[in-house]
Every structure is written in structure tokens, then in C-alpha cells.
Structure 1
Amino acid sequence: MGRTICVVGLGKIGLPLAVQCAGKGHRVLGADTAPLVVRQVNDGQAPFPGEADLPERLKLAVTAGQLTAHSDTSAAVAEADAVLVAVPLLTGEDDQPDFTLLDAATRAVAAGLRPGTLVGYETTLPVGTTAGRLAGLLAEGSGLRPGADFALVFSPERVSSGRVFADLRRYPKLVGGIDERSTRQGVEFYREVLDFDPRPDLPRPNGVWALGSAEAAEFAKLAETTYRDVNIGLANQFARYADRIGVDLAEVIEACNSQPYSHLHQPGVAVGGHCIPVYPRLYLAGDPTATVVEAGRVANLAMPEYAVGRLADALGGLTDRAVLVLGAAYRGGVRETAYSGVFPLVAALRAAGARPYVADPLYDAAELTALGLPPHRGEPVVAAVVQADHAEYRTLGAADLPGVRVLLDGRRVTDPARWAGVRRIVLGA
């Protein structure tokens, strides 16, 4: 007999996870505070585009009666024997964690929590948050004892938008509880709801990996993502040096990575998305003395302004010059603008006196305007900056932007042969 599972937060992580659990034969109650999302899910419609296999699998789960969505989180939790929380933890203007949404969701979970329930957090957290802050809120709101009356685990999502189902199969599921009993129950649960592809390259078999504690699982998620930010920061520093000395960094990186001890990432005009710009700040919230982590963040945050500086040098200034930013999304093929580099790029262009415009094949003019971005409606421009590595930009050329004198390709995605007669700048080349 299957479980009754409540998934709190039906966003880009929570909804695919709910569908995955339903597909394994469990009864799933999705909870979300957005009425429109609840209606769409109950109609079998994905509330957001771009997630592979989600529309089909969601429709099947809803039609089969395995998945229903609810606006009353506490009532849904009261029916469940397992609760998964996938509500995001953001950072505020001071770069510190903003627990407003997560605390509210946790209090709603606590109000419906029953003895014997397993509670798992998938949201990336500062180390110590599960056993400290969240366990306390759950105990306060439910009158139950964490570990004794209900199991509590942290199991970080390790997936990317657009390929969540594939990533759930591909990567080991890390689980750490507030005590041994919680960890054991968490491991058993995830083995029931997930499928795994074989991975011969792993030190132990693919599947659910028990970590020694919730803190270890929290640390693992922050460490793997912070590593990427620091690595990109280093590549961006290398790119700026390569620009000064006239060396092609791509050639250097290829040479370095030809042996197994170098794993240099690629430089870029900006680092965006829900994860890489945010999670180093969550790490620093617990370890503010981590100077290497801070330096990586600083290096990456400086890239949009640096790119605009390169553009200004090439044009002899940007005052009253029209510049097109290609790509509002934070990465190619993903209709998502969270922490996208488009925002600091537009700000830096305006600060330099330019008149910026934005175009993106995934967004229309009205949507760009709603994001606070000036849409390009065919106005002539003298320069363009590639911000997102959309596949469409591989075939873009000078003929598509008459009058463009300079192209700054911040993602190394354009074809040089298509830009004859235009000065093409690549970071680190």
C-alpha cells in the first residue's frame, strides 16, 4: 500500500517531485499558496513551461487520481505520513537569508503535523537550519518532539530546471536526519519514491546516500554549488588577465583540463539562476570568514560592469548609444530570469550613458516590460551583448542586426563567420 505524501510548494522543484512520487503509486497532496497554481495543477496543466515530460506526467497523475492540489497546507499535512517542503529560501538586499516564506510554510506544516510523520526539507539551507530553526518551529507549532514524535531530515534538491526528472535519476539523493532514526526513515522513503540510473563512475552505488547528520547534508549542497561559483569566479579572473595579455583563454582551459586534476569552468558575462548566485551567500551566513567564497562572489558580480567597459572602449564611449542585450533568461533554453545577468547589464549600460534594449526568443515585449526591461522593437543599435547562450544565437549574424558595429559575446555562442565586418569581442580572448 502506498504512502500519502504532502509536497509543500508546487514550483519548479516541488511540482515535478510531487509528480514523481505520484508516478510511483503514492497518493500525493500538493500544497501551494497561489490559487492559480492550485487550479492549474488540478486541471492537469503545468503552471510553467519548459520542464521536460512534466505536462504529460502531470496529466497522467491527476487523471489517475494520484495527485491533487490544495491551498490549505495544514489540512493537507494532516492527511499525510510524509511531508516534503520545497519552498525557496531567498536572500534579501543585505545578502542575508530571508526566511519569511520558509518560516510561514513551516508553521503551516506544524499546524497539521501528526505523530509518526516524516518531514523532509528539499530547500537549500544554511548549515544548522534544519536541526535548529526548523525543528524548533515545528515543535512549537505542533507540540510534538522532533526525532521522538516525528522524523525530520534534510535532503537537498540537486536538479536543474528543464531536466528535473532526468536529474532525479542521475544523481544520488543525499539524506541527513536530526538523529539516526530520522535518517533511516528518510533513506527508506526516498528509496520508495525515486528511480536511479546506474552510475559506474561513483564511489558507491547510485541511489540514496545516508549522510551522518542534517548538517552534513546541508553542507554538501552548499559546498557543491559554492564550488561552482568559486570556479567560475576564478575563470573570470583568468579571462580578464587573458584579455590584457592577448591570450585565448578557451585554448588554455582546454589544455589544462586535458589532465584529470584540472576542472576549470568557463568564464561568462554573468552568473545567474536560483542556485549559484544565492547559495554561496547561504554558506557565508554560517561561515563569514570564508574569504575564498567571498572573493568568488565579488569576481562574478563584477563581470557585467567589466563587459560594459570593454564595449565602451571598443566604441569610444556609450553616451546615447543604443545597445541590444540578447537574452533575458539566466541561461539558454530556460524561461527563467532569477538573478539573471540581464539586470546588472542593463543597469551598467544605463550608468555608462547608453540606451539599452533587451530581446529574448522566450519572452515577448509585454513580458520584458513587466520584468522592468526595455524591449527591443526593431530600433537600430550600434552594439549587442550576448547575455544568454540560447541556441538561436548560434545562427545569428550581422545581417540580422543592420548597423551593429560591435558584438560582445559573453557566452562564446556566436559563429565568428557570421559577423564579418563587425568587431566581435569574446571575454578571455
Structure 2
Amino acid sequence: MKICVVGLGKIGLPLAVQFAAKGHTVLGADVAEPTVRTVNEGQVPFPGEADLDVKLKEAVSAGLLTATTGTAAAVAASEVVVVVVPLFVDGDGVPDFGWMESATRDIARGLRPGTLVSYETTLPVGTTRDRWAPLLRDGSGLVAGEDFDLVFSPERVLTGRVFADLRKYPKLVGGVTAASAARGVAFYQAVLDFDERADLARPNGVWDLGSAEAAELAKLAETTYRDVNIGLANQFARYADTLGIDVDVVIDACNTQPYSHIHRPGIAVGGHCIPVYPRLYLWNDPDATVVRSAREANAAMPAYAVDLLAAALGDLTGRVVLVLGAAYRGGVKETAFSGVFPVVAELRRRGAVPYVSDPMFSDAELTALGLPAWAGGPADAAIVQADHAEYRGLTPEALPGVRVLVDGRRVTDPARLPGIRRLVIGG
């Protein structure tokens, strides 16, 4: 097949490479000229994705993957179009469809009869049928489900392990018609590889969920569940702190029962998914009080971590506090909705002098993010915000002057920190 992937970001580019690895001809379309140039050179434009560097070089060298800024022309030359363009949400939870609308208009200009269009970006329920189908019709004169096929098929992968996750999890598809869904299922069966699974009650492969709306809700529901679960764990942790109980021991005990799957508490919930998709769900279902309460509980955790520090250290005015980790999670060079920003803001609000250090970011990169880079020297306290592997071996020598450390991720080893008072959330 000839496939166009619109959006060569941290999900779109690995998808394009995956399709090329199956022998298909792929045109990757992106509005960023530097990204297009880098991809055409066989170079990865962002770090941290396992195996992408090797697979990308192979695809480009074989002539199976080419990048372009001409989306409409790429669509016109393709049988299948896969859309992985970012959708943003503002502070009030209102989705900003701007980038996706622009991409959809470009797709419409090149759309031909018989094409399959698959949206993979997570969307509010109803968006594929009620927003994208009319926009594609207005720009092309073609009707979804009649002149071309239209499906929603959510990405279900994590950055850093996209290829492994593509093999591991069922691929969900929902169409605007049954015929569109069948075409979508056949497409993904042809371009993906799946690990063998012994659990026949939950077979791997491609699943037709019956409608685009069901597939949209499935993605929102699975991610919102995680946010609600973490919110509950954080509530348990805060209560455990009042009792002097280690909540980790409690959660371990609970999860030996097969119906209990409590997640772990922590200083922040970051990334492109978990902090965002519950708000997309709330946009559809504003009466979902459980979802709203969990989101509020998780958003309050950075300030709670600073509360723990203040309770141990006293007045924070003028105190130098080192925040360890700008990334939203360990091993990933990404700061989307990272807890570092509210932690730094809360420290400043209380009069502290915060600095940030992260093994994946240079001082210049931290400064560009509006974060005060640590130049070394003594600090009064430290807060672990990201669970980088490097922090497992932290010692007092790496933390000169630090008397109190709040480990928001339980990644440090207390045996390695003699003389430092180590606090954890729910400990």
C-alpha cells in the first residue's frame, strides 16, 4: 500500500517507520521543515524512542519512507491516510482543535474517492463523525462512509516503547460505517505485528468496537481510569501520612486480592495523556464528579509535597531547594504537564529559592523552559520530582548541605542517604 502519515511526532514517526518495515511505501507529512529534513536524512528528530534510529535509517535507505511538508499532495498519492496531529486542552479543559483542523483541511484538498482515513489522536466522543467528516466533505466534496472510508483508531502506546506497545496491545478501530470499520481492521492487520498471547479470553490483534464513538470513548475511559485510580491512591497516601502508616505496604497487601488494582501515589501526574484526557472526557460529560475530583486531587499533589517539606524544615523563606527532575517521568526527555512547574511555582510562592537539575536536560534547555538551572553548590533541601534511574544511587555527596529530601517518587535508597531526613508521600 501507499500510506500517508500526517504528523511526524513522537507517535507518528514510529508509526510511519512501522508501516515501512512491513514493506509499504510511506509518505510522512509534517508542517515543520526541520523535522522533514531530519527524517529524510535518516536521523531521528527527538531522543528516547527505542530502536527508532535503526529502523528509521533502514526505512529511508530502502526508499520506503519519505517526508514532506506537502500534506495535500502526499494524501493525493496515498491509499490510506493516518492522522497523528496534536490536540491541546486549555486550563479550563476546553479542547483546541486548531492544529487538527488545519491538518484536516490539508487532507481534504488531496482526498480522493476510495481512500481510507484513520484518526489516531485522542478525541472527545463524537469528533470523528461530527467534526472531521463534515470538514473533509467541505474541502473535498466527498462523503465519509460513501465516497471514502473514515475510522477512529486510538494510539495506545507510550513514548520510549512505541514498537513494543504496538505489538503488545490490541488495536482498537471504530468506523463511521460498518464498511469503513472493516477496511480499517484489514489495514491495521496488514501493517502491525502482534505478540502471541496465551490468554484466549482476551485475544490480541485488531478489534472492531462497532462505531467511531465507541473507539473514542474506549481511549478516554482507559486513560481516565488511570487518573481516577492514581487520585484514589493519592487520597489513601495523604490519609496514611496522618496515621504514620506506609501506604506502599497497604497497597501491596490490597493488590494480592485479584479485584484490587490500586496504583501508586506520587508527586505529580504528567505527560500528554493522563492529565489531558480526563479533561476531554469532562468536556463531553461535565457531570462526572468522580473524574473531576480525581483530577483535582492529582493536581494538588505538587503543593502537598511542598507541604511535607515545610513541615520538616519549617519556614521556607530564603531556603534553597533543589528540584530533581524536569521530565514528567523517568527516562523520558519530555516536560509536558510535568510536576516540575507547579513544584517550582509553589516553592516560590512560599518564599523559597528553587533550582532544577535533570540528567537529560542541559542548563540552557532548563532555562529555555523557564526553570532555574542548578549550578551546583549547597542547598537546604531537595525534592525528587522525576523517577530517573540516576537518582537511585543518590548520596549526600551529590546533595551538599541538604538536610531534608522529599522523594516524591520513592526512587531513592534511604540506606545511601545517611544524615539526610528522607520523606515520601504516604510514608
TM-score by length of 2: 0.99
- Does the 8 Å contact 2:108/2:136 carry over to 1? yes
The alpha-carbon deviation at position 200 of structure 1 amounts to: 2.2
Aligned partner of 1:386 in structure 2 is 384
- Does the 8 Å contact 2:197/2:203 carry over to 1? yes
- Does the 8 Å contact 2:377/2:400 carry over to 1? no
Counterpart-to-counterpart distance in 2, 1:204 and 1:316: 53
Aligned partner of 1:190 in structure 2 is 188
Q: Alpha-carbon deviations, 1:227-283, whole Å to 9, x = none?
A: 000000000001100000110000000000011000000000000000000000011
What amino acid sits opposite 1:393 in the alignment? Answer: Y
The alpha-carbon deviation at position 421 of structure 1 amounts to: 1.1
Aligned partner of 1:87 in structure 2 is 85
Counterpart-to-counterpart distance in 2, 1:387 and 1:202: 40
Which of 207, 210, 213 is residue 208 of structure 2 equivalent to? 210
Which of 369, 372, 377 is residue 370 of structure 2 equivalent to? 372
The alpha-carbon deviation at position 396 of structure 1 amounts to: 0.5
Q: Alpha-carbon deviations, 1:9-50, whole Å to 9, x = none?
A: 000000000000001010000000000000000000000011
Aligned partner of 2:25 in structure 1 is 27
The alpha-carbon deviation at position 201 of structure 1 amounts to: 3.2
Aligned partner of 1:154 in structure 2 is 152
Tell which deviates more after alignment, 203-212 or 43-52: 203-212
Counterpart-to-counterpart distance in 1, 2:200 and 2:147: 35
Aligned partner of 2:285 in structure 1 is 287
Aligned partner of 1:359 in structure 2 is 357
The alpha-carbon deviation at position 202 of structure 1 amounts to: 5.6
Counterpart-to-counterpart distance in 1, 2:106 and 2:200: 38
SS in 2 for 1:304: helix
- Does the 8 Å contact 2:271/2:337 carry over to 1? yes
Which of 115, 118, 132 is residue 116 of structure 2 equivalent to? 118
The alpha-carbon deviation at position 203 of structure 1 amounts to: 2.3
What amino acid sits opposite 1:249 in the alignment? Answer: V
Q: Aligned pair 1:135/2:133, yes or no?
A: yes
Identity of aligned residues (%): 70
Which of 254, 257, 262 is residue 256 of structure 1 equivalent to? 254
SS in 2 for 1:135: helix
Counterpart-to-counterpart distance in 1, 2:243 and 2:14: 47
Q: CA RMSD in A?
A: 0.7
Counterpart-to-counterpart distance in 1, 2:211 and 2:200: 21
Alignment of 1:18-417 (within 5 A): 18-201=16-199, 203-417=201-415
Tell which deviates more after alignment, 417-426 or 213-222: 417-426
Counterpart-to-counterpart distance in 2, 1:383 and 1:311: 8
- Gaps spanning 5+ residues in structure 1: where? none
The alpha-carbon deviation at position 399 of structure 1 amounts to: 1.9
- Does the 8 Å contact 2:171/2:206 carry over to 1? yes
Counterpart-to-counterpart distance in 1, 2:109 and 2:92: 31
What amino acid sits opposite 1:154 in the alignment? Answer: F
TM-score by length of 1: 0.99
- Does the 8 Å contact 2:40/2:66 carry over to 1? yes
The alpha-carbon deviation at position 420 of structure 1 amounts to: 1.2
Q: Alpha-carbon deviations, 1:325-351, whole Å to 9, x = none?
A: 000000000111111000110001101
Counterpart-to-counterpart distance in 2, 1:335 and 1:257: 31
- Gaps spanning 5+ residues in structure 2: where? none
SS in 2 for 1:366: helix
SS in 1 for 2:242: helix
SS in 1 for 2:36: helix
The alpha-carbon deviation at position 317 of structure 1 amounts to: 1.1
Counterpart-to-counterpart distance in 1, 2:181 and 2:301: 42
What amino acid sits opposite 2:52 in the alignment? Answer: L
- Does the 8 Å contact 2:4/2:26 carry over to 1? yes
SS in 2 for 1:377: coil
The alpha-carbon deviation at position 210 of structure 1 amounts to: 0.7
- Does the 8 Å contact 2:76/2:111 carry over to 1? yes
Aligned partner of 1:14 in structure 2 is 12
